[in-house]
Amino acid sequence: MKPNCVTAVQEAAKKLGRNALTAAQLQAIDDRINATMRRLARSDPDWQAKSTDQRVIEAAQAAMADIQAEAARKVANAQRQILKTAATDIRITEGMAQFKEGRSRALVNDIDNTGHYINGIKQEAVGNMVDLMEAAKTGEGAGFGRRVMMFLFDADNPRMTRDLATEIYRNGDGSTGNKIAAEGAKAYLNVIEGLRQRFNSAGGDVGRLEYGYIPQPHDAAKVRGAGDAAAREAWVDRIAPLLDRSRYVLEDGSRMGDAEFRALLGRAWETISSDGANKREPGAFGGNGAKANAGSESRQIHFKDADSYMAYMKDFGTGSMYDAVIGHVGRMARDIGLIERYGPNPNSQMRLQFDLADRADGGIKRDFGLRPQSYWDQLNGTAGTPQSAKLAQLGTDARNIQTFGKLGSAVISSITDLGTFMTTTGYNKLGYWDAIANLGKTAASKDARDFMTTHGIIAESMIGDMNRWTGDNIRQTWSGRLANSTMKLSLMNAWTDTLRRAFSLTMMQGLARMSKTEWGKLTEWDRTLMERRGITEADWQVITKADLTEFGGKQHLTPEAIRATNDDRASEVVAKVLGLIQNESEFAVLNPDLATKTLASGGATQRGTVRGELARSVMQFKSFPIAMVSRHWRRMLEAPQVTDGSAPVLANRVMYAGALMVTTTALGAIALQAKQLVAGKDPIDMQGPHAGKFWTKAVAQGGGLSIVGDFLLADSTDQPGGFVSNAAKSVLGPALGSVFELASIGKTNIDRKLAGKTTHTAAESLQWARANTPYTGIWYARAALDHAGLHALQENLSPGYLGKMKARSAKDFGQSYWWNPGTGMPDRAPDFGKAVGQ
């Protein structure tokens, strides 16, 4: 700042009764005016024609207006924060009274309901992007090979992706001539603009770019390269020609020179390559700050067109553009949900609530063994933000290898989902026949699936979350695409999506019937369940005003029906209803809840840390049994202390437990027998001398006893490697267990050789390699691969190995093979009579 300007500013401060400004304060004023001048230079075509004094005056006036607007927003946000604090306190206090629990537990329940609320916002937003999803999935203009890649690995259609990116950059002006891409771009732009406005109306401050924004998911490792000055300069050399230089201007409106421009990009490289570590001060608080300010930072990288964006993403991006868009919508939904529930500064709100819970309960109490802070870190994204992108990727790859190597036959085990499906249907007092009919409808009817997607019921496989198995968006890397492909080819995705959609459709029909009844006339059971899910009487009054949506001869409660009421609270109610439907569908077809995700991440330990990645690896595949406890056991034990008019509370609890155990055990038996048939064996005799062992395994297979059954009832000698090796896999998790198993194979066979016994090192090593290789474990291909050559190879490597397999089956369960190991074709059909001792 020039001396005469300093004098003028000091005089102005003196007139306002302020003390003399410090050098730091003067520098802040100068920086603010300079930043405003650069902003005005980009928008005012006559900026350079103006004198220096005029530019400074206009910038100072604009900066003052900005400061006044910011001050007004701060006041408004302070008021919003007070109101949200009062609303949060009311919710928690009512929860304490209703559920007769301490403040810590009520706070965790509120955090959990906020998670459902966020999911509801995301589901509705993605449902409004059907045209974008259609554009991303279409094979128009792609050759046969590319279509195969699209099906197997969710690869992009290059032509469609290029046109879609162009249309987004040009705000869907149709300039590509590609109608599908234009409609997809408009759908996406409308959604993110609606989310931006919703965020700002809750206290946020995110501006709008003139061009359509596409997220920029940088691969920090690719950007970093060798991590030295040469790598930085190489990155700058590559990106500089791709950027819109007209957006990089000086205070006088002239474009930045090459030196200044490259210096700016160098600073951007430091931030991206270090995952933002260069901006974190040692020992500084690691919170997210005010969520209302999220996204208000100036965006430093502006590509000149879609082709430049695509070129950069090819060299330095991660995942596909579709993944980036879905991830961006998810982050916006999370930020909106947090500030709508907890105010413009959710972290500050939560620190207050933790203090209040500590005071009320005589110390913070744990829920499900976890601190409320852990639930909060899991919900707000702290746990999922990697400290080291490289370490996080290594951990993710290790888990994905286990997914594609171990879960090729998981769909057979998932027959037991029908048990939780029907149990949850009964708990919600929905029609069993409706649920069964909807299973057929969602499996066979594309119209039904499209109806669900359009109305915010989004299949997990469409957005790549796959939370049931990994908790991550698994499609973004080579290992993730192989894992997702395995799930797709094994029919696991189709099975899960069909059941969840069927339950959700049934739930929408059930809510439609209930919506015709006033709040006070609902049964005590239904009213209590609604309250526990965060739906209040005020919410229900909005729901009862909705004109229901007709489809397939039935009425459904949909987001559009609620929005059509034009109620001021429609957006909030839609988020709650969609969150409720999704959460119940994840009871029906078991998916990890917030408690399970938090526990499976080592108490919300941050990704990209040694402890965080180790915890996630140890807990891989344990989410299902933990979720059985967290969801169904807790639901059974904490059933509302009210009646539905047909049975007393205790009877309802006993019926719930009985239904869960009987259905999952029976289905576990079916799954266990199906596995025998796929392995080429006759069914196990369920009545003979091995009946006790069979039904013990059926209980463990069904999952009704959760992780207790896994540890106490499962046979740890069931897989190659011996008792110690398989026990290690159960405790350490599949990734570390696989390493231990390989070492155990070597050690065991060395001991055998020293003892003069037959060794099977090569055959067991081959089996180990197969268990970590994609596609070889897919249930319908497994037998074909075995009999096409793997059995013969194992026998050749270790003579007598197949005989040992047959002898073990005969010893353990008295089983024979209908498709003998090592033979090309089956000798006979399976003997189903063996299942009942015939």
Our CA angle for 643, 647, 649, nearest 5°, is: 50
Can you give the residue ranges of every domain in the chain?
3-93, 101-217+319-380, 218-278+297-317, 384-646, 653-699+779-838, 715-773
**Who's near 548: CB < 8 A, 6+ residues apart?**
512, 515, 555, 556, 557, 558, 561
Q: Which of 469, 481, 417 is nearest to 600 (CA)?
A: 469
Q: How many other CB atoms sit within 10 Å of the CB of residue 83?
A: 11
**Who's near 271: CB < 8 A, 6+ residues apart?**
278, 279
DSSP assignment of 171-198 equals TS--TT--HHHHHHHHHHHHHHHHHHHH
Both structure tokens of 489: 């080819």
Check the CA dihedral 351-111-457-155 and report its sign. positive
What DSSP designation does 307 have?
H
DSSP assignment of 519-587 equals GGGS-HHHHHHHHHTT--HHHHHHHHT--PEEETTEEE--HHHHHTT--TTHHHHHHHHHHHHHHHHHH
What DSSP designation does 622 have?
-
What DSSP designation does 834 have?
G
pLDDT for position 651:
63
Both structure tokens of 344: 């413009």
> How far apart, in whole angstroms, are the C-alpha atoms of residue 601 and residue 184?
36
Number of residues that this document lists for the chain = 838
> How far apart, in whole angstroms, are the C-alpha atoms of residue 79 and residue 73?
10
> How far apart, in whole angstroms, are the C-alpha atoms of residue 706 and residue 623?
10
Q: How many other CB atoms sit within 10 Å of the CB of residue 30?
A: 15
> How far apart, in whole angstroms, are the C-alpha atoms of residue 166 and residue 176?
7
Both structure tokens of 612: 């965080």
> How far apart, in whole angstroms, are the C-alpha atoms of residue 281 and residue 262?
25
Both structure tokens of 610: 């040694």
> How far apart, in whole angstroms, are the C-alpha atoms of residue 749 and residue 368?
43
> How far apart, in whole angstroms, are the C-alpha atoms of residue 529 and residue 511?
12
> How far apart, in whole angstroms, are the C-alpha atoms of residue 585 and residue 502?
9
Is-contact 577 559, C-beta < 8 A?
Answer: yes
**Who's near 61: CB < 8 A, 6+ residues apart?**
none
Contacts of range 734-739, beta carbons closer than 8 Å, 24 or more positions apart: 734/399, 734/402, 734/406, 734/617, 734/620, 734/621, 735/398, 735/399, 735/401, 735/402, 735/617, 735/620, 736/617, 736/618, 738/402, 738/768, 738/771, 738/772
DSSP assignment of 65-85 equals HHHHHHHHHHHHHHHHHHHHH
Three-state secondary structure call for residue 821: coil
Is-contact 133 398, C-beta < 8 A?
Answer: no
**Partners of 243 in the β-ladder:** 303
Phi then psi dihedrals of residue 499, to 5 deg: -65, -40
pLDDT for position 467:
56
pLDDT for position 708:
45
> How far apart, in whole angstroms, are the C-alpha atoms of residue 368 and residue 785?
44
> How far apart, in whole angstroms, are the C-alpha atoms of residue 365 and residue 353?
13
> How far apart, in whole angstroms, are the C-alpha atoms of residue 163 and residue 621?
40
Q: Which of 193, 191, 187, 185 is nearest to 169 (CA)?
A: 185
Three-state secondary structure call for residue 367: strand
Our CA angle for 71, 73, 76, nearest 5°, is: 115
Three-state secondary structure call for residue 218: strand
Q: State the amino acid at position 731 in one-letter form.
A: V
565 burial class (0-12, 13-18, 19+ CB within 10 angstroms)?
middle
This prediction has a pTM of 0.88
> How far apart, in whole angstroms, are the C-alpha atoms of residue 430 and residue 808?
46
Is-contact 385 391, C-beta < 8 A?
Answer: no
**Partners of 550 in the β-ladder:** 555
Q: Which of 189, 7, 128, 225 is nearest to 558 (CA)?
A: 128
CA distances from 673 to 22, 114, 255, 716, 825 (A): 80, 42, 73, 19, 21
Is-contact 48 252, C-beta < 8 A?
Answer: yes
**Partners of 370 in the β-ladder:** 367
Q: State the amino acid at position 640 in one-letter form.
A: P
Is-contact 337 118, C-beta < 8 A?
Answer: yes
Check the CA dihedral 807-808-811-815 and report its sign. negative
CA distances from 836 to 674, 685, 696, 744 (A): 15, 6, 17, 38
For residue range 636-660, list pLDDT tens digits in order: 888 776 665 555 555 677 888 888 8
pLDDT for position 71:
82
3-state SS track over 570-612: HHHHHHHHHHHHHHHHHHHCCCCCHHHHHHHCCCCCCCCCHHH
Q: Which of 311, 552, 307 is nearest to 440 (CA)?
A: 552
Both structure tokens of 328: 């961006």
Is-contact 205 66, C-beta < 8 A?
Answer: no
Below-50 pLDDT ranges, the chain: 278-289, 295-298, 471, 473, 706-718, 720
